[in-house]
Amino acid sequence: MYVAVKGGERAIDNAHRLLAEARRGDSQTPELSLAQIDQQLALAVDRVMTEGSVYDRELAALAIKQARGDLIEAIFLLRAYRTTLPRLAVSSPIDTGRMTVRRRISATFKDLPGGQVLGPTFDYTHRLLDFALAAGGGGTEPVATQPGDAAPAEGMPKVASLLDAEGLIEQEAPDAEDASVGDLTREPLEFPADRDLRLQNLARGDEGFLLALAYSTQRGFGRNHPFAGEIRMGEVEIEIVPPELGFPVVIGEVTLTECEMVNQFKGSKTEPPQFTRGYGLACGEAERKAMAMALVDRSLRAEELGEEATAPAQDEEFVLMHSDNVEASGFLQHLKLPHYVDFQAELVMVRQMRAQAGAAGDTTDE
Amino acid sequence: MSEAAAVQSTGYNFAYLDEQTKRMIRRAILKAIAVPGYQVPFASREMPLPFGWGTGGIQVTAAIIGADDRLKVIDQGADDTTNAVSIRRFFARTAGVATTTRTTDATLIQTRHRVPETPLGPHQILVYQVPIPEPLRWLEAREAETRRMHGLADYGVMHVKLYEDIAQHGRIATGYDYPVQVGQRYIMAPSPIPKFDNPKMDRCPALQLFGAGREKRIYAVPPHTPVKSLDFEDHPFSVETWSKRCSLCGAGDSYLDEVIMDDTGRRMFVCSDTDYCAERRAAGHRGEGDGA
């Protein structure tokens, strides 16, 4: 059979060989192991897991290595892998109230049951380049930990529940046990979208995009007066209930960052003034993402709360249709594909219109 | 060496997608065929190729391709453009199907931006890659609103836009992705094919399927369905014409690409449909610039 093996095919092969070489870099430099990426570029792994929608540190590390550190490319690799995976079970809802907390802060109360736990944070570091790190040392002294430093969750009630007891914050009734949760990777997103789908979309959404949107609300484009009610990070158990057993079985533990924003609400005709909530959740240590997500989640509730929706961050279709960096990056970069047929159509059109305009100009001028 | 003989990748289902997903896509395709020109939402998957690079077409092809199909993939009318090569390889690798560049030999043709010059037959299916499936998108940005407009056949805004073009430019200033009305009902985006190709869609004996992966929509034009390019009685629809013929095969009836030859602006015009051009040359036709 005749097969077109022309320039295109050879060029693609060669380009991929060049890519493999560039990925490895100078062979005198030791190759990165997945464990090194997992351990020392842990926050990159966290971001790729979050936006790639797969909790697997090793696969995320592999994706980062394969993508030469391009995190959006790594997210794409992980997504393309994820889409082929079968669904074995749906877990029970996680309970972040039972998190083994490594970090927990609240900006709304000076002190609270369980206390403020800073944990591993960039906050309050002075952003001075640490040349000791460049020399291969520094920051390696083990931290003396007290038993119980990773705090037992029971002694750390959620801030929202403290406000809840006083009726100051909107009630959040859990869905019925058997209520199904939407999945936008299995059903196309339609508008208006329910909050479960919005949160799923935001959780998968690009951190930079959410950050900019959240920031825009802080600067007045749809301001919603947020307070960081609580941010907690730590380990949560994942349980499933196998139908043949009928009771929950723990299948593993994941690290999560959760942010509950507390937002002012003036009240409406039907609701007294009270605080409202915005929610953010991300895999691993991803505080900026979780906070941005919580602000945008609250913004997207404008209509539900009877607020005037005027800003981009309050516009459901605008936010949800443009948050996915795998979609956005693909469509942006498709401009590199040949468009010469369309361009030819434009050329023909513009030439015709110019010829016509020229002819018309000639007759009127002279 | 044939691509079909290329080593099949292990670990993935035939044509990459799992059977559940294929069934979901086939249901959407059947609905699309039942309601010509209507955009059916479907749960588009992440493919191993980027969104915007033909994932909608690839998913449609993957859902309908069989082991005995012969696949042709073109981009800009050409079989040898890089993305066409990449997609053809993808199916040769994951489905092990036979591939061809000959329009008449293909049972399934996936295309980006062109309809082949050689008329298609009832045994063939043409799958279009679609970037923006919504013909009203540039007039109304919101999906909720455009769906309503389609539901009510509320197309006044489109006619106003075309009228404004004529008032401003003396003609409808759209060269590609020129809107059509399918079966006297839905206004449809034909994908960014040049309007030159629009008449080929009308009452075409082949099934035409459209896949938009990123936008998660599938739509269809069933065989022999009337497809009308929008126009006005006093400004009838017309297609591009060239004063030149193809300099390789001498064709005067095909869509021509303009190739810049040197830095003094010398140009050559050649068929955008590489198979059409090659077939004509094989039959002995020659253009003025052949061999140059």
DSSP codes of every residue in A279-331: EEEEESS-HHHHHHHHHHHHHTTTTTTT----SGGG-HHHHHHH--HHHHHHH
Cβ distance of A326 and B51 shorter than 8 Å: yes
Beta bridge partners of A258: A232, A281
Q: Which of B46, B131, B176 sits opposite A326 (nearest CB)?
A: B46
pLDDT at residue B251 tops 80? yes
CB contact under 8 A, B52 and A342: no
pLDDT digits (tens, 9 = 90+) for B72-123: 999 999 998 889 999 999 999 899 999 999 999 999 999 999 999 999 999 9
What residue in A sits closest to B275 (Cα-Cα)? A4
Q: What local confidence, expressed as pLDDT, does residue B7 receive?
A: 40
Number of residues in chain A: 366
Looking at the predicted structure, is the pLDDT value of residue B237 above 90? yes
**Residues A275/A168, Cβ–Cβ less than 8 Å:** yes
pLDDT digits (tens, 9 = 90+) for B16-61: 999 999 999 999 999 999 999 999 999 999 999 999 999 999 999 9
State the DSSP H helix or E strand holding residue A183, giving kind and residue range, or none if neither: none
Identify residue B193 by its one-letter amino acid code: I
Residues of chain B in contact with residue A13, where contact means CB-CB under 8 angstroms, are none
**Cβ–Cβ below 8 Å for B46 and A83:** yes
Q: Enumerate residues 6+ apart whose C-beta is below 8 A from B234.
A: none
Q: Which residue from B235, B72, B90, B31 is spatially nearest to A4, judged by alpha carbons?
A: B72
pLDDT for res A178: 75
Q: What is the pLDDT of residue A180?
A: 82
pLDDT (0 to 100) of residue A3:
31
Please give, rounded to a whole number of angstroms, the shortest distance from the CA of A340 to a CA of chain B: 7
Quote the minimal CA–CA distance from B282 to chain A in Å. Answer: 14
Interface size A-B, in CB pairs within 8 Å, comes to 154
- Name which of B46, B172, B274 to mutate to probe chain A: the one with the most chain A Cβ atoms within 10 A of its Cβ: B46
Amino acid in the structure at residue A305: L
Cα of B133 to nearest chain A Cα, Å: 14
Q: Which of A148, A182, A169, A269 is nearest to A227 (CA)?
A: A169
Instruction: Check CB contact of A334 with chain B, cutoff 8 Å.
Output: yes
**Eight-state DSSP code of residue A239:** E
Residues 11-40 of A with CB under 8 A from B: 11-12
Contact B169 A331 (CB under 8 A): no
pLDDT of residue B253: 94
E strands, chain B, in order: 40-41, 70-75, 98-99, 108-112, 125-129, 180-182, 186-188, 207-212, 217-221, 227-229, 256-260, 267-271
B-chain CB neighbours of A188 within 8 Å are 41-44, 216
User: Does residue A76 sit at the B interface (CB-CB below 8 Å)?
Assistant: yes
At a CB cut-off of 8 Å and minimum separation 6, what does A33 contact? none
- Whose tokens are 């253009």? That residue is B287
Residue A339 at interface with chain B, using a CB cutoff of 8 Å: yes
User: What is the per-residue pLDDT for A156?
Assistant: 83
Is A337 in the B-facing interface, judged by CB distances under 8 Å? yes
Task: Find out whether B2 and B178 touch, Cβ atoms under 8 Å.
Answer: no
Distances (CA, A) of B233 to B130, B158, B236: 29, 16, 6
Question: Cβ neighbours of residue A89 under 8 Å, at least 6 residues apart?
Answer: A240, A242
CB within 8 Å of chain B, chain A residues 152-191? 185-191
pLDDT tens-digit map of B161-199 = 999 999 988 889 899 999 999 999 999 999 999 999 999
Three-state DSSP at A199 gives: helix
Q: A341 and B76 in contact by Cβ < 8 A?
A: yes
Q: Is B99 left (phi over 0), alpha (psi -120 to 50) or beta?
A: beta
DSSP secondary structure of B170-222 = SS----BS--EEETTTEEE---S-BGGGHHHHTT-SSEEEEEETTTTEEEEE-
- Which tokens go with B290? 């052949």
- Residues 301-330 of chain A with CB under 8 A from chain B are 317, 321, 326-327, 329-330
The whole-angstrom separation of Cα B180 and Cα B187 is: 6
Q: Is the Cβ pair B46, A7 closer than 8 Å?
A: no
pLDDT at residue number A21: 95
CB within 8 Å: B43 and A185: yes
Whether A352 has its CB under 8 Å from any CB of chain B: the answer is: yes
CA B31 from chain center: how many Å? 20
| Contact criterion met (CB < 8 Å) for A330 and B175 | no
Nearest-angstrom CA–CA distance, B50 and B44: 12
| Catalytically annotated residues of B | 37, 246, 249, 271, 277
Is the separation of the CB atoms in A250 and A237 below 8 Å? Answer: yes
Residue A147: strand, helix, or coil: coil
The pLDDT tens digits for B126-141 are 999 999 999 999 999 9
With a cut of 70, which residues of chain A have pLDDT below it? 1-7, 138-142, 144-154, 360-366
User: What residue in B sits closest to A77 (Cα-Cα)?
Assistant: B48
ipTM of the complex: 0.84
Q: What is the pLDDT of residue B4?
A: 40
- Whether B44 sits inside 8 A of A188 (CB atoms) is yes
Strand order in the sheet with B186-188: B186-188, B180-182, B227-229
The amino acid sitting at B5 is A
Q: Among B51, B107, B148, which would you mutate to test the A interface (most chain A Cβ atoms within 10 Å of its Cβ)?
A: B51
Which member of B52, B113, B256 has the closest CB to residue A330? B52
CB contact under 8 A, B76 and A346: no
